[in-house]
Amino acid sequence: MKTLTKATRLSSHRLKSLFSSFAKDKKGIGAVEFAIVTPILIMAYIGAFEISLGFTVSGKVARAASTVADLVAQQSTVDKTYLGNMKNVAQTMLAPYKGFNFTLKISGIKVDNTNKGTVIWSRDQNGATPYAVNSTVNLPAQFATKGAFVIRTELIVPHELLLFAPNLASKSITKINLAKTAYFRSRQAETISCTNC
């Protein structure tokens, strides 16, 4: 019985000694810290990349919407072919990013004597009419000026998050819509007519 107790004490002493030396040993602490910090750093890098890419594409969407509205506002008359070619302008402005599934709506809006906007014509990227003729629309205050003719361009680009883990979440989280609406006043004519809209 005394031998067993002595053996137990000896093994208990060795165990304490082993834990004590393990606690003092700092050799593996760098590896443990690296294992803890690395996933956080990788997520921060991916997040920063996605945010910077999103801002870049958002800037391109804003420039594309403004450019299309500006080009149409410089005309005195337009037609279906001219407005149909505006989707090519938008695609060129969005390059090299995927922007083929975008929605582009171009509207010619006349402001009446009560400062209300009325749609005179409208076209989308597929050649359809997104807004009914003579439908009323709201314009920002600086464009709601009596007798003005305003070109409104609405551009919506679905942006896919490139580095998002595809198996960790639903597909609805991997895409966001980047949208911009641009307004330009007519420059060449009091009203920009669309001959065959």
- DSSP symbol at 174: S
**Where are the chain's structural domains?**
28-194
Task: Decide if 73 contacts 119 (C-beta within 8 A).
Answer: no
The pTM of the full predicted model, rounded to 2 decimals, is 0.75
Looking at residue 66, its pLDDT comes to 96
Low-confidence residues of the chain: pLDDT under 50 = 1-2
First vs last Cα of the chain: how many Å apart? Answer: 106
**39 vs 34, 43, 138, 174, CA distance in Å?**
9, 6, 48, 20
Looking at residue 170, its pLDDT comes to 55
Looking at residue 1, its pLDDT comes to 47
Task: Decide if 180 contacts 62 (C-beta within 8 A).
Answer: yes
Please, what sign has the CA dihedral across residues 124, 129, 134, 138? Answer: negative
Residue 150 in tokens: 């305003």
